[in-house]
A and B are shown apart, each in its own frame.
Chain A
Amino acid sequence: MGHDTQFQAKSKKQYEYDRHHNAVHMRKQVVNFAIMIFLTFLAFAVVVADFSAYFIKPVILLLAGVQVVLQLYSFMHMDDKKASHMGVISTFVWFGAVIAFTMFLTFLTIIWW
Protein backbone atom coordinates (compact mmCIF):
# COMPACT_ATOMS: atom_id res chain seq x y z
CA MET A 1 0.00 0.00 0.00
CA GLY A 2 1.18 3.51 0.51
CA HIS A 3 4.08 4.10 -1.73
CA ASP A 4 5.46 1.24 -3.73
CA THR A 5 9.12 1.05 -4.43
CA GLN A 6 10.29 1.91 -7.93
CA PHE A 7 12.13 -0.80 -9.78
CA GLN A 8 15.13 -0.17 -11.94
CA ALA A 9 16.47 -2.25 -14.75
CA LYS A 10 19.43 -4.38 -13.72
CA SER A 11 22.80 -3.76 -15.26
CA LYS A 12 23.84 -6.33 -17.83
CA LYS A 13 26.48 -7.82 -15.52
CA GLN A 14 24.00 -8.07 -12.65
CA TYR A 15 21.41 -9.62 -14.93
CA GLU A 16 23.80 -12.24 -16.21
CA TYR A 17 25.02 -12.97 -12.72
CA ASP A 18 21.46 -13.45 -11.47
CA ARG A 19 20.57 -15.72 -14.38
CA HIS A 20 23.62 -17.83 -13.67
CA HIS A 21 22.91 -17.86 -9.97
CA ASN A 22 19.33 -19.01 -10.57
CA ALA A 23 20.54 -21.78 -12.85
CA VAL A 24 23.05 -23.01 -10.27
CA HIS A 25 20.34 -22.93 -7.65
CA MET A 26 18.05 -24.96 -9.88
CA ARG A 27 20.76 -27.59 -10.34
CA LYS A 28 20.96 -27.91 -6.56
CA GLN A 29 17.21 -28.42 -6.44
CA VAL A 30 17.50 -31.27 -8.94
CA VAL A 31 20.19 -32.88 -6.75
CA ASN A 32 17.87 -32.53 -3.76
CA PHE A 33 15.14 -34.16 -5.78
CA ALA A 34 17.45 -37.06 -6.58
CA ILE A 35 18.20 -37.47 -2.88
CA MET A 36 14.49 -37.52 -2.09
CA ILE A 37 13.82 -40.16 -4.71
CA PHE A 38 16.70 -42.20 -3.33
CA LEU A 39 15.37 -41.93 0.22
CA THR A 40 11.93 -43.04 -0.96
CA PHE A 41 13.48 -46.03 -2.71
CA LEU A 42 15.36 -46.87 0.43
CA ALA A 43 12.21 -46.69 2.57
CA PHE A 44 10.28 -48.99 0.26
CA ALA A 45 13.30 -51.27 -0.11
CA VAL A 46 13.78 -51.91 3.59
CA VAL A 47 10.12 -52.81 3.91
CA VAL A 48 10.17 -55.13 0.93
CA ALA A 49 13.45 -56.68 2.13
CA ASP A 50 11.54 -57.82 5.19
CA PHE A 51 13.93 -56.89 7.99
CA SER A 52 12.78 -56.94 11.59
CA ALA A 53 10.00 -54.43 12.26
CA TYR A 54 12.03 -53.00 15.12
CA PHE A 55 14.69 -52.03 12.60
CA ILE A 56 12.41 -50.89 9.82
CA LYS A 57 10.10 -48.60 11.77
CA PRO A 58 12.72 -46.21 13.17
CA VAL A 59 14.61 -46.20 9.88
CA ILE A 60 11.67 -45.30 7.68
CA LEU A 61 10.47 -42.66 10.15
CA LEU A 62 13.94 -41.16 10.08
CA LEU A 63 13.97 -41.23 6.29
CA ALA A 64 10.58 -39.52 6.23
CA GLY A 65 11.87 -36.88 8.63
CA VAL A 66 14.92 -36.17 6.47
CA GLN A 67 12.81 -35.98 3.36
CA VAL A 68 10.35 -33.56 4.94
CA VAL A 69 13.17 -31.30 6.10
CA LEU A 70 14.57 -31.37 2.56
CA GLN A 71 11.18 -30.43 1.14
CA LEU A 72 10.69 -27.61 3.62
CA TYR A 73 14.15 -26.13 3.38
CA SER A 74 14.93 -26.57 -0.29
CA PHE A 75 11.71 -26.86 -2.28
CA MET A 76 9.72 -24.57 -0.03
CA HIS A 77 12.69 -22.21 0.44
CA MET A 78 12.70 -22.09 4.22
CA ASP A 79 16.50 -21.86 3.95
CA ASP A 80 16.08 -18.49 2.25
CA LYS A 81 17.09 -16.07 4.99
CA LYS A 82 16.28 -13.10 2.78
CA ALA A 83 12.64 -14.06 2.28
CA SER A 84 10.40 -11.72 4.22
CA HIS A 85 9.87 -12.72 7.85
CA MET A 86 11.32 -16.19 7.38
CA GLY A 87 12.30 -16.30 11.06
CA VAL A 88 8.72 -15.86 12.23
CA ILE A 89 7.50 -18.34 9.66
CA SER A 90 9.90 -21.07 10.71
CA THR A 91 9.02 -20.48 14.36
CA PHE A 92 5.38 -21.06 13.48
CA VAL A 93 6.12 -24.14 11.40
CA TRP A 94 8.22 -25.80 14.07
CA PHE A 95 5.74 -24.92 16.79
CA GLY A 96 3.11 -26.63 14.65
CA ALA A 97 5.40 -29.63 14.38
CA VAL A 98 5.80 -29.76 18.18
CA ILE A 99 2.02 -29.71 18.64
CA ALA A 100 1.63 -32.42 16.00
CA PHE A 101 4.22 -34.58 17.76
CA THR A 102 2.48 -34.12 21.13
CA MET A 103 -0.79 -35.18 19.55
CA PHE A 104 0.70 -38.34 18.03
CA LEU A 105 2.30 -39.22 21.35
CA THR A 106 -0.89 -38.82 23.35
CA PHE A 107 -3.14 -40.52 20.81
CA LEU A 108 -0.77 -43.50 20.75
CA THR A 109 -0.29 -43.74 24.50
CA ILE A 110 -3.36 -42.62 26.40
CA ILE A 111 -6.15 -43.77 24.09
CA TRP A 112 -6.08 -47.50 24.48
CA TRP A 113 -9.45 -49.05 24.96
Chain B
Amino acid sequence: MEETKFTPQTWPDKAEQATLEGKNKFVGIWIFICSDITLFASVFATYLSLKDKGPAGMEFSAASLFELPLAFVMTMLLLTSSLTSVYAMYHLKNHNFKGVQIWMSITVLLGLGFLALEIYEFYHYVHIGFGYTQSAFSSAFFTLVGTHGLHVVIGLVWIVCLIVRNAKRGLNLYNAPKYYAASIFWHFIDVIWVFIFTVVYLMGVLG
Protein backbone atom coordinates (compact mmCIF):
# COMPACT_ATOMS: atom_id res chain seq x y z
CA MET B 1 0.00 0.00 0.00
CA GLU B 2 2.60 2.50 1.14
CA GLU B 3 4.81 1.83 -1.87
CA THR B 4 2.09 2.77 -4.36
CA LYS B 5 3.13 5.56 -6.72
CA PHE B 6 0.59 8.33 -6.86
CA THR B 7 -0.16 11.00 -9.40
CA PRO B 8 -1.97 14.24 -8.57
CA GLN B 9 -5.14 12.62 -9.96
CA THR B 10 -4.96 9.52 -7.79
CA TRP B 11 -3.70 11.33 -4.68
CA PRO B 12 -6.56 11.08 -2.16
CA ASP B 13 -8.09 13.97 -0.23
CA LYS B 14 -6.60 14.29 3.23
CA ALA B 15 -3.80 11.97 2.20
CA GLU B 16 -2.19 12.38 5.61
CA GLN B 17 -5.19 10.66 7.19
CA ALA B 18 -5.92 8.14 4.46
CA THR B 19 -4.31 5.18 6.23
CA LEU B 20 -4.81 4.02 9.80
CA GLU B 21 -1.13 4.76 10.51
CA GLY B 22 -1.69 8.25 9.18
CA LYS B 23 -4.74 8.78 11.37
CA ASN B 24 -2.79 7.54 14.38
CA LYS B 25 0.05 9.94 13.67
CA PHE B 26 -2.38 12.82 13.18
CA VAL B 27 -4.23 12.19 16.44
CA GLY B 28 -0.96 11.32 18.19
CA ILE B 29 0.79 14.59 17.38
CA TRP B 30 -2.24 16.50 18.62
CA ILE B 31 -2.36 14.61 21.91
CA PHE B 32 1.37 15.18 22.27
CA ILE B 33 0.76 18.89 21.73
CA CYS B 34 -1.87 18.81 24.48
CA SER B 35 0.75 17.46 26.88
CA ASP B 36 3.13 20.15 25.66
CA ILE B 37 0.51 22.75 26.58
CA THR B 38 0.79 21.86 30.25
CA LEU B 39 4.57 21.60 29.96
CA PHE B 40 4.73 25.18 28.76
CA ALA B 41 2.03 26.23 31.22
CA SER B 42 4.31 25.00 34.02
CA VAL B 43 7.41 26.88 32.91
CA PHE B 44 5.28 29.93 32.07
CA ALA B 45 3.62 29.93 35.48
CA THR B 46 7.02 29.53 37.14
CA TYR B 47 8.32 32.49 35.16
CA LEU B 48 5.32 34.62 36.09
CA SER B 49 5.79 33.99 39.79
CA LEU B 50 9.55 34.58 39.66
CA LYS B 51 9.57 37.60 37.35
CA ASP B 52 11.94 40.31 38.62
CA LYS B 53 12.73 38.23 41.72
CA GLY B 54 16.36 38.01 42.69
CA PRO B 55 18.91 38.54 45.43
CA ALA B 56 18.68 41.81 47.34
CA GLY B 57 19.75 44.76 45.21
CA MET B 58 19.50 42.97 41.85
CA GLU B 59 20.14 45.47 39.06
CA PHE B 60 18.31 43.61 36.29
CA SER B 61 14.60 43.81 35.70
CA ALA B 62 12.42 42.84 32.79
CA ALA B 63 11.73 46.51 32.02
CA SER B 64 15.41 47.39 31.72
CA LEU B 65 16.53 44.19 30.03
CA PHE B 66 14.28 43.40 27.11
CA GLU B 67 14.52 45.16 23.77
CA LEU B 68 11.45 45.27 21.57
CA PRO B 69 13.07 45.59 18.11
CA LEU B 70 14.82 42.24 18.46
CA ALA B 71 11.67 40.56 19.77
CA PHE B 72 9.72 42.07 16.87
CA VAL B 73 12.09 40.72 14.24
CA MET B 74 12.07 37.29 15.86
CA THR B 75 8.27 37.30 15.94
CA MET B 76 8.07 38.19 12.26
CA LEU B 77 10.51 35.45 11.31
CA LEU B 78 8.59 32.79 13.20
CA LEU B 79 5.17 33.97 12.01
CA THR B 80 6.34 33.93 8.41
CA SER B 81 7.79 30.45 8.84
CA SER B 82 4.34 29.37 9.98
CA LEU B 83 2.88 30.64 6.69
CA THR B 84 5.55 28.93 4.62
CA SER B 85 4.78 25.60 6.23
CA VAL B 86 1.12 26.20 5.37
CA TYR B 87 2.29 26.60 1.77
CA ALA B 88 4.13 23.30 2.05
CA MET B 89 0.92 21.62 3.20
CA TYR B 90 -0.95 23.23 0.30
CA HIS B 91 1.45 21.57 -2.11
CA LEU B 92 1.14 18.31 -0.18
CA LYS B 93 -2.58 18.41 -0.85
CA ASN B 94 -1.91 18.87 -4.57
CA HIS B 95 0.74 16.12 -4.61
CA ASN B 96 3.41 18.59 -5.67
CA PHE B 97 6.44 17.08 -3.94
CA LYS B 98 8.87 19.71 -5.17
CA GLY B 99 6.67 22.43 -3.71
CA VAL B 100 6.58 20.64 -0.37
CA GLN B 101 10.37 20.33 -0.24
CA ILE B 102 10.98 23.95 -1.28
CA TRP B 103 8.54 25.50 1.16
CA MET B 104 9.69 23.24 3.98
CA SER B 105 13.27 24.33 3.25
CA ILE B 106 12.24 27.98 3.43
CA THR B 107 10.57 27.20 6.76
CA VAL B 108 13.84 25.73 7.99
CA LEU B 109 15.78 28.81 6.88
CA LEU B 110 13.39 31.16 8.68
CA GLY B 111 13.56 28.95 11.76
CA LEU B 112 17.35 29.05 11.64
CA GLY B 113 17.18 32.85 11.45
CA PHE B 114 14.99 32.89 14.52
CA LEU B 115 17.34 30.56 16.34
CA ALA B 116 20.38 32.67 15.47
CA LEU B 117 18.72 35.79 16.88
CA GLU B 118 17.75 33.91 20.04
CA ILE B 119 21.31 32.68 20.52
CA TYR B 120 22.57 36.21 19.99
CA GLU B 121 20.07 37.47 22.56
CA PHE B 122 21.10 34.89 25.16
CA TYR B 123 24.76 35.58 24.49
CA HIS B 124 24.14 39.28 24.96
CA TYR B 125 22.38 38.77 28.31
CA VAL B 126 25.11 36.48 29.62
CA HIS B 127 27.69 38.99 28.44
CA ILE B 128 26.18 41.84 30.49
CA GLY B 129 26.06 39.61 33.58
CA PHE B 130 22.52 38.22 33.39
CA GLY B 131 23.59 34.55 33.41
CA TYR B 132 21.54 31.46 34.16
CA THR B 133 22.60 31.35 37.81
CA GLN B 134 22.39 35.10 38.42
CA SER B 135 18.95 35.11 40.06
CA ALA B 136 15.63 33.31 40.23
CA PHE B 137 14.42 35.66 37.48
CA SER B 138 17.29 34.76 35.16
CA SER B 139 16.85 31.03 35.79
CA ALA B 140 13.14 31.25 35.05
CA PHE B 141 13.62 33.42 31.95
CA PHE B 142 16.25 31.21 30.38
CA THR B 143 14.27 28.08 31.21
CA LEU B 144 11.08 29.41 29.62
CA VAL B 145 12.59 30.89 26.48
CA GLY B 146 15.16 28.08 26.33
CA THR B 147 12.45 25.42 26.42
CA HIS B 148 10.83 27.14 23.47
CA GLY B 149 14.21 27.35 21.76
CA LEU B 150 14.74 23.63 22.35
CA HIS B 151 11.40 22.96 20.66
CA VAL B 152 12.54 25.05 17.71
CA VAL B 153 15.74 23.00 17.48
CA ILE B 154 13.80 19.73 17.63
CA GLY B 155 11.37 20.99 14.99
CA LEU B 156 14.23 22.02 12.72
CA VAL B 157 16.05 18.70 13.07
CA TRP B 158 12.79 16.87 12.44
CA ILE B 159 11.97 18.82 9.28
CA VAL B 160 15.52 18.59 7.94
CA CYS B 161 15.48 14.82 8.50
CA LEU B 162 12.20 14.60 6.60
CA ILE B 163 13.47 16.67 3.70
CA VAL B 164 16.68 14.65 3.42
CA ARG B 165 15.32 11.16 3.88
CA ASN B 166 12.42 11.63 1.49
CA ALA B 167 14.33 13.53 -1.21
CA LYS B 168 14.62 10.41 -3.38
CA ARG B 169 11.45 8.71 -2.23
CA GLY B 170 8.86 11.23 -3.34
CA LEU B 171 5.50 11.74 -1.69
CA ASN B 172 3.49 8.71 -0.61
CA LEU B 173 0.95 7.75 2.01
CA TYR B 174 3.73 6.63 4.36
CA ASN B 175 5.51 9.96 4.61
CA ALA B 176 2.64 12.40 4.02
CA PRO B 177 1.47 12.04 7.67
CA LYS B 178 5.05 12.65 8.79
CA TYR B 179 5.22 15.96 6.93
CA TYR B 180 1.81 16.90 8.24
CA ALA B 181 2.70 16.11 11.86
CA ALA B 182 5.92 18.12 11.60
CA SER B 183 4.00 21.09 10.26
CA ILE B 184 1.42 20.90 13.07
CA PHE B 185 4.29 20.81 15.57
CA TRP B 186 5.88 23.81 13.90
CA HIS B 187 2.65 25.82 14.16
CA PHE B 188 2.44 24.93 17.81
CA ILE B 189 5.91 26.41 18.36
CA ASP B 190 4.51 29.59 16.86
CA VAL B 191 1.46 29.50 19.17
CA ILE B 192 3.78 29.34 22.19
CA TRP B 193 5.86 32.18 20.81
CA VAL B 194 2.77 34.40 20.58
CA PHE B 195 2.40 34.05 24.34
CA ILE B 196 6.12 34.52 24.95
CA PHE B 197 6.38 37.76 23.02
CA THR B 198 3.20 39.09 24.60
CA VAL B 199 3.76 38.06 28.20
CA VAL B 200 7.55 38.04 28.48
CA TYR B 201 8.64 40.81 26.16
CA LEU B 202 5.74 43.24 25.75
CA MET B 203 4.47 42.99 29.30
CA GLY B 204 8.06 42.79 30.55
CA VAL B 205 8.86 46.15 29.01
CA LEU B 206 5.82 47.60 30.75
CA GLY B 207 7.34 46.53 34.08
Would A and B touch once assembled, by the CB under 8 A criterion?
yes
* Other-chain contact of A5, B18, B34, B75 (Cβ < 8 Å): B18
Task: Say whether B90 contacts A22, CB under 8 Å.
Answer: yes
Q: Which of B39-47, B116-124, B143-151, B163-171 contacts A (4 or more CB under 8 A)?
A: B39-47
* Other-chain contact of B83, A29, A76, A97 (Cβ < 8 Å): A29
- When C-beta atoms are compared, the residue in chain A nearest to B75 turns out to be A40
Most chain B CB within 10 A, of A4, A33, A60, A75, is at A75
Task: Say whether A64 contacts B194, CB under 8 Å.
Answer: yes
Given A56-B206, A99-B41, A104-B45, CB of A93 within 8 Å of CB of B198: no
Q: How far is the CB of A59 from chain B (nearest CB, A)?
A: 10
How many residues from B make CB contacts under 8 Å with A?
Answer: 59
Task: Say whether B48 contacts A104, CB under 8 Å.
Answer: yes
Task: Say whether A47 contacts B79, CB under 8 Å.
Answer: no
* Other-chain contact of A29, B19, B31, B33, B86 (Cβ < 8 Å): B86
Q: In whole angstroms, how far apart are the Cα atoms of A14 and B156 in the complex?
A: 36
Task: Say whether A8 contacts B10, CB under 8 Å.
Answer: yes
Task: Say whether A83 contacts B26, CB under 8 Å.
Answer: yes
Task: Say whether B90 contacts A93, CB under 8 Å.
Answer: no
0/1 per residue, B1-18, Cβ < 8 Å to A? 100101111101110011
* Other-chain contact of B82, A18, A64, A71 (Cβ < 8 Å): A71
- When C-beta atoms are compared, the residue in chain A nearest to B33 turns out to be A93
Q: Which residues of A contact B90 (CB under 8 A)?
A: 22, 25-26, 29
Determine chain A's interface SS by DSSP, over half rule.
helix
How many residues from A make CB contacts under 8 Å with B?
Answer: 56
Task: Say whether B191 contacts A30, CB under 8 Å.
Answer: no
Q: Which residues of B contact A7 (CB under 8 A)?
A: 4, 6, 10, 12, 18
Q: Which 9 A-B pairs have the closest CB atoms?
A: A100-B41, A107-B45, A96-B37, A64-B198, A111-B49, A107-B49, A103-B45, A33-B83, A96-B34
- Which residues of B line the A interface, CB within 8 A? 1, 4, 6-10, 12-14, 17-20, 23, 26-27, 30-31, 33-35, 37-38, 40-42, 44-46, 48-49, 68, 72, 75-76, 79, 82-83, 86-87, 90, 93-94, 184, 187-188, 190-191, 194-195, 197-199, 202-203, 205-207
Contacts A25-B90, A44-B68, A88-B27 given; 12 further ones with Cβ under 8 A?
A9-B10, A26-B90, A29-B83, A29-B90, A68-B191, A92-B30, A96-B37, A96-B41, A104-B48, A107-B45, A107-B49, A108-B48
A-B contact pairs, 30 of them (CB 8 A): A4-B1, A9-B9, A18-B13, A30-B83, A33-B82, A33-B83, A36-B79, A40-B76, A40-B197, A43-B202, A53-B206, A57-B203, A60-B203, A63-B198, A64-B199, A68-B191, A68-B194, A72-B191, A75-B82, A84-B27, A85-B27, A89-B27, A89-B31, A92-B30, A92-B34, A96-B35, A99-B38, A99-B41, A103-B44, A104-B41
